[in-house]
Amino acid sequence: MTTTAVQRMIAEADRFMSAGKLADAKELYGRICQMDANLAVAWRTLGAINGDLGQVDESVTCLRTALQLDPLDPEAHLILAHVLRAKGSLNEAREHAQEATRLDADHEGAWLFLSGINGQLGFSAEAEDCARRTIDLWPDCSQAYINLGYVQYAQGRFAEAEEALSKGVRLGVTTEPGHAEAWSILGNLKLKSGDFDGAAACHRSALELNPQSIPSLVGAAIVYQKLGNLKQALQNYREALRLDPRSADTCIRLGDTYHALDKTGDAVEYYKKALQIDPTAARVYVVVGDLLLDEGKTEEGCEYYRKGWQLDHRDSIRAKLVTAWPVIIESSEHLARTRKTFSDAVDALMLEPITIDDPATEVCRALFYPVYGGLNDLDLQLKTARLYEKACPALLFKAPHCRPGYRKQQRARISIGFVSRFFCTHTIGSVMKGLIQHLSRDLFEVTVFTFPHERDEFAKKINACADHVVILPMEWKDAHRVIAETEMDILLYTDIGMEPYTYFLAYARLAPIQCATWGHPVTSGIRNIDYYLSCEDFEPPDAEQHYSEKLI
């Protein structure tokens, strides 16, 4: 039984607590515990105050004392669970929260705590059960829905996670800093589903709650990249790097963004910073190698390829290394030496097992520069094509209507498809627009196979010249199916070798007749390109010997 004096002191201490004067409340409760050392509720309250003041060890001592006096107090168990979690003793914290729910099966706060700490410890099923139990007891508990969403997100149940997190943040106080992570994950989910504007709004909400949230800064930057706002993406990444200067991932993302802006020097700078932080990032060595080769720094670029290959024995890196070609040839001797080195390296690699699942993205390079040497490149192009055929047999896909015995529907006109990534404001677009526009429509039905160029007016003019326009998917294996379904009679690749996507796409048999022309004036070396269309003024007297295709 408490004395009247103790009751008055408790009342005064509680007033201090209500006013936020925790130090005064602590001093009073300390005196109360000295006056009546068996008053469990006083020890519990003193423990809670110490916890709020960040005095964890004192808090634990007081709460253990309270539980010695009253081991059946669920509130003391729960408060101790919170303090132990703050101390990092997660398993013990979980045990005390479980005891609180055993003593009071309807203790919504204890179930909520358990949902969070089970998720933190990786007990996903228990975390979900506890979150749902909390919702049953407390249907408007925003954190319970958020905890449920975290579990579902971690398990890859993205649609369910988006629903739970959306409800959680709607129910919560909009200024609650702890909800920043929920907004950020919700932004990631909306990005995954293609809702870029919704993703951007979620990350903005996260940053309003916590402007220094690195996941939110990075998540927002990724969305800005998708929306084409690369300058804002850079700003976010730079702020994230300022907050965490040792983040190799953020350095890599900055490098990728500068790369997309064609700011090679800045890209290489950040990639090299990433490698200083994490020297095991094989992909970064390879990307730096690509950029250095594009800058004409062939030897340095190849050295980065070698470092990348030491970390990741991927055959695509070996292919990059053996097919590297200098941007600038310094002399006739340099040209002869380069051609021999290249030819010997490809021959050697052909003798070994080699597998590349997706050369368009893994190698991401066509043999572009040899043509500027002014010699016959047939042997080099043939060897290169045979190397990629061996590494990736899927390149030699054959459309159903090109297979023996297929009965193709007869058309009134010959169907012809023009294929290029550059049907836009580009030299290729300028050179080819007239051919697409003026080809006889009495004889031909014209389809343009192109890519999204929404903001390019010249691309719209080219598309308007065609009877049909097909936007190709970014994955070349999907493009096989898309083009095959059109059952073209003829495909004309306008610039094989200018870039990797159409170079590797051309390996497939997607029409009975497949042609190349002078968008890149050299033979493709590809077995499924039948004809090369040129003109007399472009060709030497022995021109037929320079082509794997039949020269027209």
CA–CA gap between residue 69 and residue 82 (Å, rounded)? 20
Digit-coded pLDDT (tens) for 462-503:
999 999 999 999 898 999 999 999 999 999 999 999 999 999
What does the pLDDT read at residue 247? 96
Backbone angles phi, psi at 447, to 5 degrees: -120, 135
Cα angle 157-162-163, degrees, rounded to a multiple of 5: 105
Digit-coded pLDDT (tens) for 132-152:
999 999 999 999 999 999 999
What does the pLDDT read at residue 29? 87
If residue 416 lies in a helix (H) or strand (E), which one and from where to where? strand 414-419
CA–CA gap between residue 179 and residue 205 (Å, rounded)? 9
DSSP three-state, residue 187: helix
Per-position DSSP letters for 340-358, written without gaps between them: HHHHHHHHHHHTS----S-
> In 319-328, which positions are buried (b, 16+ CB within 10 angstroms) versus exposed (e)?
bbbbbbbbee
What does the pLDDT read at residue 10? 87
Do 394 and 424 touch, CB atoms closer than 8 A?
A: no
Digit-coded pLDDT (tens) for 304-346:
999 999 999 999 999 999 999 999 999 999 999 999 999 999 9
If residue 468 lies in a helix (H) or strand (E), which one and from where to where? strand 468-471
CA–CA gap between residue 512 and residue 367 (Å, rounded)? 25
Stretch 4-27: mean pLDDT, rounded? 88
What does the pLDDT read at residue 173? 63
Residue 298 in tokens: 């062939």
Q: Over 60: is that where the pLDDT of 174 sits?
A: no
- Per-residue pLDDT band for 176 (boundaries 50, 70, 90) equals low
Residue in this structure with the two tokens 């065609």, named with its chain if needed: 466
CA–CA gap between residue 265 and residue 301 (Å, rounded)? 14
What does the pLDDT read at residue 111? 97
Q: Over 90: is that where the pLDDT of 35 sits?
A: no
If residue 277 lies in a helix (H) or strand (E), which one and from where to where? helix 264-277
If residue 490 lies in a helix (H) or strand (E), which one and from where to where? strand 490-493
Q: Over 80: is that where the pLDDT of 523 sits?
A: yes
Digit-coded pLDDT (tens) for 285-297:
999 999 999 999 9
Stretch 522-534: mean pLDDT, rounded? 97
In the DSSP assignment, the letter for residue 471 is: E
If residue 550 lies in a helix (H) or strand (E), which one and from where to where? strand 550-551
Spell out where 292-408 has E strands.
none
What does the pLDDT read at residue 177? 66
Stretch 531-535: mean pLDDT, rounded? 96
Beta bridge partners of 514: 491
Digit-coded pLDDT (tens) for 410-450:
889 999 999 999 999 999 999 999 999 999 999 999 999 99
Q: Over 80: is that where the pLDDT of 404 sits?
A: yes
Sheet holding 513-517, edge to edge: 468-471, 444-450, 414-419, 490-493, 513-517, 531-533, 550-551
- Per-residue pLDDT band for 175 (boundaries 50, 70, 90) equals low
Do 172 and 140 touch, CB atoms closer than 8 A?
A: no
Digit-coded pLDDT (tens) for 201-245:
999 999 999 999 999 999 999 999 988 899 999 999 999 999 999
What does the pLDDT read at residue 406? 86
- Per-residue pLDDT band for 1 (boundaries 50, 70, 90) equals very low
CA–CA gap between residue 319 and residue 388 (Å, rounded)? 9
Under the phi-then-psi rule, with left for phi > 0, alpha for psi from -120 to 50, and beta for the rest, what region is 456?
beta
Report the helix count and the strand count for the chain, using DSSP H and E.
26, 7
Do 462 and 442 touch, CB atoms closer than 8 A?
A: no
Dihedral sign for Cα atoms in the order 381, 363, 326, 341: negative
Query: What CA–CA distances, in Å, run from 460 to 423, 453, 454, 499?
Result: 9, 8, 8, 22
What does the pLDDT read at residue 106? 96
